Structure 1
């Protein structure tokens, strides 16, 4: 199919047919040739883009290019042959049905048309032959290389113009080369005659191929070979209505029933789409109404909370800003910093806290039972001995007796 191929179109395993169809338009791709294999057969699909149809063939026989070339003694495979599209030859595509005519049209559209009055013969290097057999309903796919050789020259001239002669070392007689072919293809063993000798309208590149001179046209097969059988024709690209099927035949009533069922399916689908569109519209209207209602309620609540926006702020009550509140805050700060109740003369207006766990009456009774009256005063010194020199005290709050007299109790240290 060179050179009319999309070489920049690369297909990966994760790509689907829809992805390829999406990029086919910008790349100018008009046809898809798809090969697939199942457990039983190999299939070949020919698709026309962008709207179809799709032709599905079953490959009954095939031969690869390397197998065809390896069977030839003198093959003709070079890059210059693929710089121009091949010449398409359709054979036996007569009035055998609409499906045969559609096949011929599809194959013709694969290659550009040729104007026989303006064509350059030097651009025709290959030939694609598709032969239709009406009896077996199979297509023979063949691909040849074209060679033009002058005829009618003298023996000395032929010796100068000929290419490498085939090796006949294994042959007993030259008749074996012409009769059996001796490993050559049919085109190589084909002799020149009226069937392939013609008068050239143009000069063709080659030795002795001049205008208005007779030359022989020889074909050398380069492959691949395929024997195809049409299975079905679909209306769309890989899907759609079945236009033709080789094995399934339906009556007119069955076709009408299928069409009616398909129309009913399309009608139900359109009805569901309309219902969905109406539901979406209704939900949007409900959300819009709810939003407006919510905004109105928020504005009304904000207006009620604000009240008269022109009224002056009265401020805090006067009793909360008096000196008693300030002394109360300082007394609370003293309690948190020192961990004790402040003296009465420090904050006279602050309220005194009661100790946790004791009522007022019990607290007074406990203070009366203390030997010093519950105060922070140091006990008086003994008359017979001085403080600190006569008594030996232990830890604070404990009594020591040094044998000279009765011990005393040292009050615990207080932190101010």
Structure 2
């Protein structure tokens, strides 16, 4: 038998579970699904986006034809889901909607180009994609989103809130295995979405030393001295040294997983694209959850007078809707009153019927008593007739 847990161990376990629940509940969660017919390729793109959003997404979310958007909103509340990524397809384009729950806004994108994970991996000689990378959320990097414009700032805020925030003073570098790059091109007004696998390797040492650190014995048959193993390949050009340079070499503040990645040592950060890859074009931004005022539209522009007219028509529709609702409530109340009156009348009618039935029974009893009296009078006449005829008293029978 194993040792039973002490009180301190139980308290520590309860406290750890409580901290884990708070941490898990404080990060954003997402639903990635589609609406309508999208085809096989777009469906694979949707599943690839679920891989990007792991682990804080519904990996096995099932979508049925009869489901409406309200069903997903209803299910999202108890599960703590904060964002929707909805894929749709028309005859001319593939669309992506990013929605913030519960009250919006909703950002509409057109997916002009996309590449699936399987296509990106097949184009690489060596890919770095394994299941351990998806146990933690990716690191988000935004590029060129500091420009002027309400729609650009809103897009940046939307992308930032889709992924958990990182505290640079408490983050564990070993949990960062992936990177998501979202880059905005101001010339074409397109957004490039990329997904990378992250690897950290030590620099300033030869390939032979790296093999020794990886517990692999190098081939020294062509070497004249052991120093050749340590010094050969140290001063290679950037192209020969896997293009490591100032752009990706940094000093590690922590010990990173991998041989030779020590604290305060120079290491190179290398990115390998694992997909999916998307090129997005902003179409419009809507104020609410799927409906509401249009905050920005890339194609249609309206003057202030047109906007006032639209708001006026919308206000009139809302008033008509409120008036119809008020009339419906009045009709329902009137029907309830009528129903209560009918129930009261039916009760009174049943009471009157019972009273009439009781009065009929009493009349029948009185009539029976009156019918017995003539029979007694007839018996007395017959006895008198017998006395006068026979001059004797009749028998009792």
- Taking structure 1 as the reference length, what is the TM-score of the superposition? 0.67
For structure 2, list consecutive stretches of 5 or more residues without a partner in the other structure. 1-52, 219-236, 376-397
Aligned to 1:102: 154
Question: Measured at CA, do residues 301 and 147 of structure 1 come closer, stay the same or move farther in structure 2, by a change above 3 Å?
Answer: closer
The answer (yes or no) to whether the contact 1:146–1:217 under 8 Å persists in 2 is yes
CA displacement 1:226-273 (0-9 Å, x = unmatched): 110000111222222211111011111111111111111111111121
CA displacement 1:49-98 (0-9 Å, x = unmatched): 11111111001111111111001001101111111000000000013311
Q: Shift of the alpha carbon at 1:287?
A: 3.3
Give 1:229-378 correspondences, 5 Å limit: 229-300=281-352, 302-304=354-356, 306-307=358-359, 312-315=365-368, 317=371
Residue 120 of structure 2, aligned match among 59, 68, 73 = 68
Aligned to 2:30: none
Structure whose residues are more often helix by fraction: 2
Question: Measured at CA, do residues 96 and 305 of structure 1 come closer, stay the same or move farther in structure 2, by a change above 3 Å?
Answer: same
Q: Shift of the alpha carbon at 1:201?
A: 0.6
Aligned to 2:221: none
- What is the SS of the residue equivalent to 1:296? helix
Aligned to 2:68: 16
Counterpart Cα distance in 1 of 2:146 and 2:213: 42
Aligned to 2:272: 220
Residue 252 of structure 2, aligned match among 176, 200, 209 = 200
Question: Measured at CA, do residues 299 and 259 of structure 1 come closer, stay the same or move farther in structure 2, by a change above 3 Å?
Answer: same
Question: Measured at CA, do residues 277 and 14 of structure 1 come closer, stay the same or move farther in structure 2, by a change above 3 Å?
Answer: closer
**1:151 matches 2:203:** yes
Counterpart Cα distance in 2 of 1:261 and 1:313: 80
Question: Measured at CA, do residues 305 and 120 of structure 1 come closer, stay the same or move farther in structure 2, by a change above 3 Å?
Answer: closer
Residue 79 of structure 2, aligned match among 27, 46, 62 = 27
CA displacement 1:156-202 (0-9 Å, x = unmatched): 31453579x9xxxxxxxxxxxx99x9xxxxxx995111111111111
- What is the SS of the residue equivalent to 1:77? coil
Aligned to 1:173: none
- What is the SS of the residue equivalent to 2:314? helix
Q: Shift of the alpha carbon at 1:5?
A: 0.8
- What is the SS of the residue equivalent to 2:368? coil
Counterpart Cα distance in 1 of 2:283 and 2:308: 22
Q: Number of residues paired by the alignment?
A: 302
Counterpart Cα distance in 2 of 1:291 and 1:47: 51
Tell me whether 277-286 or 203-212 shows the greater mean CA deviation: 277-286
Question: Measured at CA, do residues 117 and 314 of structure 1 come closer, stay the same or move farther in structure 2, by a change above 3 Å?
Answer: same
Aligned Cα root-mean-square deviation (Å): 2.9
Question: Measured at CA, do residues 270 and 130 of structure 1 come closer, stay the same or move farther in structure 2, by a change above 3 Å?
Answer: same
Counterpart Cα distance in 2 of 1:285 and 1:142: 64
- What is the SS of the residue equivalent to 2:337? helix
Q: Shift of the alpha carbon at 1:34?
A: 1.3
The answer (yes or no) to whether the contact 1:6–1:27 under 8 Å persists in 2 is no
- Taking structure 2 as the reference length, what is the TM-score of the superposition? 0.70
Counterpart Cα distance in 1 of 2:208 and 2:357: 121
Counterpart Cα distance in 2 of 1:226 and 1:259: 35
**1:121 matches 2:173:** yes
Counterpart Cα distance in 1 of 2:305 and 2:209: 73
Aligned to 1:142: 194
